[in-house]
Amino acid sequence: MRGRTMENFYKRLLIIGIAIGVFCSLAVFTVGQRLWTTTMLQRKLLESNICKIICSSELLSNSHMSLSYARQIQGLLPEGIKSDLKGLSLGDAHISFKGEPLPINLVLGTDVNMAELVGLQLINGRYFDPEDVAEHKKVCVLKSNVYDLIAARNAAHIDINGVAYEIVGIVSESENYDKSLGEGDVLVPVSTLYKHIENTSDRSELISQIVFDKQAYSNQQIQHLLQKNARKEGVEISDLKLMPLHYDEFRRNEAYLKEMSKVVGIALLILVIACFNIIYIATASIMDREREIGLHTALGAKHYHICRLIAREVFSCAFRGGLLGTATAAIFNTASNLSSGRFSFSFNVISLMAGLLLATAAGLLTSLFPAAKAAKLDPIAALREE
């Protein structure tokens, strides 16, 4: 009775050990998938030709520029470089359609190249042209999610602070869209932002960044040319910083990679410990059953019969442990993704198959040593023990 109880106890320990091993292996595997895709994204972000210039003073980590100063900086860029400005309204703008408020309040001001530079796809109409900017026209471009709210009523205008603005284009965000531009869903010419919406002079600091396509130039070459041209024109640029357009996203991903790398490291450590524990538990189970195995051998069981008996038992535990570990990993991954609000753990059919394969491999590897040890037991010595 005691022998059967201990046998069941060892089996439960083995199932739990294999479940922990499979869980940790799947954690490494699923996080690894995400780490790989994020690493590839990081490389893509750094290889982009689109850059931005921001103003970063000693007092403020990220301050704004005036329109007149931003125009000067644009003039310092190499000839032929496409650039644009991102201007932000100072306060919440009241945006409505036929008297009904729309659930947005941020207006972005740009020049004519912003859609092309930051990944805005034109769905309908056009983007701003030089005439719109030069004449401070009251025109706007809407993101598709905003236009969908009013499309059913054939909207041709929206009101910003009680003034009608003609809708000249509809755009949507492409996969290359720069999220650092914010949630502004209404875009107007930057000159219009200054003159009509904010009613202020060009010296007001509404410009948060200058966006440009560096083309064949390196960042170092752009920086050198900016400094050279600034000295020639007498323009102060010591507070300006040049960086990739997706720099903010790059930094967020970098922090995420560090965090997930720690998870992988901890999971690998637990996995190694679990593997040793699995082998130890399986071996201890054999040692506790020496008399039973010796009896089988004395009755004529061959070595391969003993090996098959032990391997079958370990495989049975491995299968149940694999199912338990895979189910636990699925629950953990889903809960983690929901709580973090991002797809941190890539658990899918491939992960499920990997879990079952890992359980099979664990059963195979952990059964080899105990089965070989059981086959070498001396039946006479085993039966002598009472």
Q: Which of 224, 245, 266 is a domain's end point?
A: 245
| Sign of torsion over alpha carbons 140, 145, 149, 152 | positive
Q: Please check whether residues 54 and 195 belong to one and the same domain.
A: yes
Do 114 and 240 lie in one domain? The reply is yes
Q: Which domain holds residue 222?
A: 49-245
Query: Do the beta carbons of residue 355 and residue 326 sit within 8 Å?
Result: yes
Same domain (yes/no): 84, 209: yes
Calpha distance 220→214 (Å, rounded): 11
Under the banding of pLDDT at 50, 70 and 90, the label for residue 168 is: very high
Domain boundary, last residue among 245, 263, 287: 245
Among 245, 270, 286, residue at a domain's last position: 245
CB 3 within 8 A of CB 307: no
What average pLDDT does the structure give for the chain?
77
Is the pLDDT score of 386 beyond 60? no
In the DSSP assignment, the letter for residue 348 is S
pLDDT tens profile 257-295: 777 777 777 777 777 777 777 777 777 766 666 666 666
Bridge partners for 165 per DSSP: 158
* Integer Cα distance of 80 and 99 in angstroms: 44
Q: What is the DSSP string of 275-311?
A: HHHHHHHHHHHHHHTHHHHHHHHHTT--HHHHHHHHH
For the chain, how many structural domains are there in total? 2
Same domain, 274 and 367: yes
C-alpha distances in angstroms, 22 versus 80, 118, 192, 326? 57, 43, 60, 7
User: CA 334 → CA 262, 330, 340, 344, 346, distances in Å?
Assistant: 19, 6, 10, 9, 9
Nearest to 158 by CA among 105, 194, 200: 105
Angstrom distance (rounded) from CA 303 to CA 378: 11
Alpha-carbon span 97 to 113, nearest angstrom: 27
Q: Do 139 and 286 sit in the same domain of this protein?
A: no
Measured between alpha carbons, how far is 331 from 144 in angstroms, rounded to an integer?
36
Helix ranges restricted to H, the chain: 2-47, 67-76, 114-118, 130-134, 144-150, 190-192, 219-233, 247-288, 290-298, 303-340, 349-375, 379-384
What is the spatial distance between Cα 103 and Cα 236, in angstroms, rounded to a whole number?
40
**Same-domain pairing of 37 and 98:** no
Our measurement of the distance from residue 114's CA atom to the centroid of its chain's CA atoms, rounded to an integer in Å, reads 25
pLDDT tens for each residue of 11-68? 777 777 777 777 777 777 777 777 777 777 667 767 778 888 988 764 444 578 899 9
Reported as a single tens digit per residue, the pLDDT across 111-143 is 999 888 887 888 899 999 999 999 999 999 998
- Residue 107 to residue 213: CA distance in whole angstroms: 24
Q: In Å, what is the CA distance from 337 to each residue of 197, 230, 313, 332?
A: 41, 48, 36, 9
Do 362 and 376 belong to one domain? yes
Claim to verify: residue 83 and residue 228 sit in the same structural domain? yes
pLDDT at 366: 65
200 with 314, same domain? no
62 and 164, same domain (yes or no): yes
Helices 67-76 and 219-233, packing angle to 10 deg: 110
pTM exceeds cut of 0.75: no
pLDDT digits (tens, 9 = 90+) for 322-356: 778 777 777 777 776 666 555 555 556 766 676 66
11 and 147 fall within a common domain: no
CA pair distance 14, 278, nearest whole angstrom: 6
Is residue 39 domain-shared with residue 54, that is, in the same domain?
no
Q: In residues, how long is the chain?
A: 386
Does the structure show a pLDDT above 50 at 89?
Answer: yes
